[in-house]
Every structure is written in structure tokens, then in C-alpha cells.
């Protein structure tokens, strides 16, 4: 058995398919502004950099820009609506819970490192009965920085009780690969998430297409880390 590691997960598009509820919240805000809805298929890849950026991308799709004050108001409207409807259709990706069970049985720590706000992340994971599985759940506001700043990764691992040199990042997009590279840790990319640049092009250390493949991918990276020590 490999020594205990900390497996750090992105949230949106990695642990949970949150797109339906996020895009519903975006379209709620756009409707209030008299704008047409953004189609679900094209909006999925707008997700991943937080609520404000999602709204900005939604407005850009309609060729619109707004003042800072209007963006502040729209972001507040979005968060209010989303918080009340955070797990209507959002569900863990198939195979996730079996993968988490595997890691827990092996004695590994699990953590969440997301650009979503911490309280929203915890609310979502609470409603999906997943919070109890993670030693730390950290968001964009937890340490005052977002991915790909490596500080958020390092502090997440520390809060989970782990060590950066024995940790792995799992994510679906550029910020996840970026934070791993800057923190000096390996990264597993998932191909089923939300990204404007295909995850394969970002060259993660391992690439998986289903959560059933995560334990094997993580195990191979843990073995490689052990050899390098």
C-alpha cells in the first residue's frame, strides 16, 4: 500500500455536474435584465471561474457589457437565487462515491479546492450528503486567492492535515492544471467537465474519462511520487 496521500478535488465539473443549476441561475439573472437565455450546451464551458465570471461570459455571449455597479447587483442576484436552488438537478458524476470509498479505505485524505465560494460549496455538498467525506472544503474566499494561485492549494492541503509533497490535484480545466503545476504536484484531468480548452491539450499527468478510472490513475501517480522521494 502506498503511504497516505491527500487527494484534492475541484468541485464544479469534477466532483459534481453542477451545470444545470448554475446555468438556470445565470438565465434567471439574464431574464431580469431583459436578455435571452444562454443554451445549456454552449454555457457549460463558461463555468469554472466563479459566479461573476460566469455572468460576464453570459453577457459577452449576448454582446453586452455592464457597469461595475450593475455587475455587483447581478452577482448578488445570481448568488441569492443559486443558493436557494443549488441542488435541484446537480448530481455527483457517475462512479464518484465508489472512488471516494476506495480512497477512504486506503487511508487517504480527501479535500475540495474550488473557485466557488466556500459557503456555497459546503451547502451544495451538504445537500448531496458529500461534505462528510472531505477533511477540508476550501473556496475562492477561504484564503483570499483563487486557482491557479498555489496558495489556495497549499492551504487546502494543510487544512486537511496533509503534506503538499504527498498530494494530487484532480480537476477539469486550466485553473486546476495551473494550480498543480505551480504547487509542484501531479494533476489528473477529467474529460467530462467544463473547460473552454480541451483538458487533453493542457497535458495533465493523467487523463480519465470516467470516475471508475480515478483510483488507478491516482495510484500510479502515488507510486511515482514515492519513487522520487
Catalytic, out of 10, 17, 21, 205: 10
C-alpha cell at 68: 461595475
Catalytic annotation on 10? yes
* Residue 72 annotated as part of some ligand binding site: no
Helices (H) and strands (E) in the chain, counts: 9, 8
At 8, which helix (H) or strand (E)? strand 6-9
Q: Among the residues of 49-110, which ranges form H helices?
A: 51-61, 68-84, 96-105
Contact 153, 136 (CB under 8 A): no
Cβ contact 10:50 at 8 Å? no
Burial group, residue 31, by CB count within 10 angstroms (0-12, 13-18, 19+)? exposed
Question: 172 labelled as ligand-binding?
Answer: yes
The SS3 of residue 109 is strand
What beta strand segments (E) does 79-152 contain? 91-92, 109-113, 136-138
Residue 67 CB: number of other CB atoms within 10 A?
8
178 closest CA partner among 144, 203, 215 = 203
- What CA–CA distance (Å, rounded) separates 154 from 16? 23
Mind telling me the catalytic residues? Answer: 10
Query: Which residue ranges make up the annotated binding site?
Result: 10, 12, 172
Query: Which residue ranges make up the annotated binding site for Mg(2+)?
Result: 10, 12, 172
Amino acid at each position: 500500500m502506498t503511504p497516505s496521500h491527500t487527494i484534492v478535488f475541484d468541485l464544479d465539473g469534477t466532483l459534481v455536474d453542477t451545470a444545470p443549476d448554475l446555468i438556470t441561475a445565470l438565465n434567471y439573472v439574464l431574464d431580469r435584465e431583459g436578455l435571452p437565455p444562454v443554451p445549456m450546451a454552449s454555457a457549460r464551458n463558461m463555468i469554472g471561474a466563479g459566479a461573476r465570471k460566469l455572468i460576464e461570459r453570459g453577457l459577452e455571449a449576448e454582446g453586452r457589457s455592464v457597469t461595475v455597479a450593475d455587475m455587483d447587483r447581478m452577482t448578488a442576484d445570481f448568488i441569492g437565487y443559486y443558493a436557494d436552488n443549488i441542488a435541484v438537478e446537480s448530481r455527483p458524476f457517475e462512479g464518484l462515491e465508489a472512488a471516494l470509498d476506495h480512497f477512504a479505505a486506503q487511508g487517504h485524505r480527501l479535500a475540495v479546492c474550488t473557485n466557488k465560494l466556500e459557503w456555497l460549496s459546503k451547502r451544495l455538498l451538504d445537500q448531496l450528503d458529500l461534505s462528510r467525506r472531505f477533511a477540508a472544503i476550501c473556496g475562492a474566499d477561504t484564503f483570499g486567492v483563487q486557482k491557479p494561485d498555489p496558495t489556495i492549494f497549499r492551504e487546502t492541503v494543510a487544512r486537511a492535515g496533509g503534506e503538499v509533497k504527498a498530494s494530487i490535484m484532480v480537476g477539469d480545466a486550466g485553473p486546476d492544471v495551473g494550480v498543480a503545476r505551480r504547487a509542484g504536484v501531479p494533476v489528473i484531468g477529467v474529460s467530462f467537465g467544463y473547460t473552454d480548452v480541451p483538458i487533453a491539450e493542457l497535458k495533465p499527468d493523467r487523463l480519465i474519462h470516467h470516475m471508475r478510472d480515478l483510483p488507478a490513475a491516482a495510484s500510479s501517480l502515488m507510486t511515482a511520487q514515492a519513487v522520487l522521494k
